[in-house]
A and B are shown apart, each in its own frame.
Chain A
Amino acid sequence: MNAFTPLAGAAGGILIGLAAWVFYRGVGRIAGISGILAGVASGEGRRLKALFVIGLLAGAATVYFGFGQPPAVVSQADRMWLILAGLLVGFGTRLGSGCTSLRPGKAVEAFVRGDRDLLRRRRRHRLRGASCHWKLNPASPRWPPVRCSARAWRYRV
């Protein structure tokens, strides 16, 4: 069993939030580790993402080695289970488009995004309505693809 450490937890959370903020404001991306790792592998935005990984490792190493008392890292699962778990997490996070969309970090953003979405819904429908209108015009661009819902149609220009 572990000691309950709310202050350390909240402090860590705040640092994560700040890091995500800096990353978003700086380069306009959501700091999701699974996407970043996949990007390093696939080459999409590799330089930026590799730098992020290096920074993360440097930060972790600083805390782990620099603060005199390396926090215990204890995994209770045995090897075979660890491997199975790793495969599931790796596959699952990519399938679900990002570890952050599934979990704390992203509960974070999902929340924020959720209510922004409410505010924007009407405007978006109106935009979609406009696109619907264009779609019926043979000269209209084929991209981006637009779904023409009845609701969107009502807002057409």
Chain B
Amino acid sequence: MMNPAKVTGFLDFAGIRTGTWDPTLAFVMAGGLAVFAVGFRLSNRHSRPLFAPKYLAPAPGRVDWRLILGATMFGVGWGIAGLCPGPALAALVTAQIDIVIYFAAMTAGMALFAAFDRNS
């Protein structure tokens, strides 16, 4: 997921017809899902985590306008750049100027949200 081309290759569903679609990302998802599904259940059998007083998993929230609007903004940005926050952070180690610019813009977006959240 550090490679934006891999992500945009997955998101380009038009590629299904032309044969250039790259479904690798679905395998990443499936692998993570399988492991964490088990891990999450096993973890919750214990009343508390090993090094903290309690589990802080947020309760499943309602689907509200914040989630939908946030998801939409995220999706548009993700589709353009092919990088979401985690991989963008990891890709900083490549020291590529494009990645650094993207990461800075992302951080600025988060700061903007923090300002917006304080005011509303």
The SS class assigned to the A binding surface is helix
Given contacts A9-B25, A73-B2, A111-B37, contact A93 B85 (CB under 8 A): yes
Q: Which residues of A contact B67 (CB under 8 A)?
A: 96-97, 101-102
The reply to whether B49 and A27 form a contact with Cβ atoms under 8 Å apart is yes
Flag the segment in A33-41, A125-133, A135-143, A148-156 that touches B: A33-41
Q: What separation, in Å, do the CA atoms of A8 and B80 have in the docked complex?
A: 24
Q: Are A13 and B27 in contact (CB under 8 A)?
A: yes
Assess whether B28 is in contact with A74, with CB atoms less than 8 Å apart: no
- Contact A10–B74 (Cβ < 8 Å): no
| B17 partner residues in chain A, CB cutoff 8 A | none
B residues sitting closer than 8 Å to A (CB atoms) are 1-6, 8-9, 15, 20, 22-44, 46, 48-58, 60-61, 66-78, 80-86, 88-94, 96, 98-99, 101-114, 116-117
- Residues of A with Cβ closer than 8 Å to B? 1-18, 20-21, 24-30, 33-34, 37-38, 41-42, 53, 56-57, 59-61, 64-65, 70-77, 79, 81-97, 99, 101-105, 107-114, 116-117
